[in-house]
Amino acid sequence: MSDVRICRDVAEVAREAAAEVSRIAEEAVAARGRFAIALSGGATPRALYEELAREPWRDRVDWTKTNVFWGDERLVPPDHDESNYRMAREALLSKVGIPDANVHRVRTELGHADAAARDYEREIAKLFGLPTGSAPRFDLVLLGLGTDGHTASIFPGTTAVHDDWRVVAPVWVEKLHAHRVTLTVPAINQAAHVMFLVTGAAKAHVVGEVLRGVKHPDHVPAQLVAPERGTLLWILDEPAATALMG
């Protein structure tokens, strides 16, 4: 069952989400001595990352016990304008005391999506102390939502939609003419907490499709996100939530 919180604007979404991240982080460190989070990319989460870099959240999260991963990455260099890693580093990671060893980016310099995906899967397995390919249980996976119903880089019509045997998948996205690397649906659904952050009127229709629409995951892959033993929270601003109101 999804918990949906509707905020007045992007600033309130960022504050609400930062409070949730901080709460989950404290819970994870208390229970397991570490907090493993998969960040989302795109533009929406920047406001959250900038909020987490400010008081009171910056000091509430124990960054020395936090391990940061990405839910997906574009196959571009880490200093590229399109890099999800670069955005998070600029908005958050460069401003908090997180050890470099705790930042686990997708090594896109390996050149091929498949090689980068295999390498990233090994990196994840190492942190979780799992055999490579076993689904990790992230404490928190942050997700965004595309107007076409994609989340992470699980785009409609791509092989990622039905990839249920890997933790990390390479994916060719024809509409973008681009390679991506993404956590798969099973990996996301193993998380203890999954949080969608969606803002803006342009997303209102697709939010309605995911939360209220006919189940058609091939067309709306975000409908596949259903944590098996975890919570699912949507934090929306009012413009993105209009299909849910009234």
Task: Kindly list the residues in this chain that would bind ligand 6PG in the complex (CB under 6 A).
Answer: 40-44, 71-72, 74, 84, 144-146, 150-153
Q: Which value, in Å, is the radius of gyration of the alpha carbons in the chain?
A: 17
CB of 129 to ligand 6PG, least distance (A): 26
Q: How far is the CB of 151 from ligand 6PG (least distance, A)?
A: 5
In the complex, residue closest to ligand 6PG by CB: 144
**Residue 14 CB, nearest approach to ligand 6PG (Å):** 13
Q: Which is nearer to ligand 6PG, 31 or 201 (CB)?
A: 201
Q: Which is nearer to ligand 6PG, 34 or 162 (CB)?
A: 162
Smallest CA-to-CA distance from 87 within 73, 99, 98, 101 is with 73
Q: Which is nearer to ligand 6PG, 153 or 223 (CB)?
A: 153
Nearer to ligand 6PG, 38 or 192 (CB): 38
CB 71 to ligand 6PG: min, Å: 6
Closer to ligand 6PG by Cβ: residue 59 or 108? 108
Cis upstream peptide for 56 (omega within 30°): yes
Least spacing, CB of residue 202 vs ligand 6PG, in Å: 8
Beta-carbon contacts of residue 118 (< 8 Å; ≥ 6 apart): 168
85 close to 73: Cβ distance less than 8 angstroms: yes
Q: Report the residue number, 153 or 158, with the smaller CB distance to ligand 6PG.
A: 153
Minimum separation from the CB atom of position 155 to ligand 6PG (A): 9
Tell me the β-bridge partners of 97: none
Give the separation between CA 20 and CA 23, rounded to whole angstroms.
Answer: 5
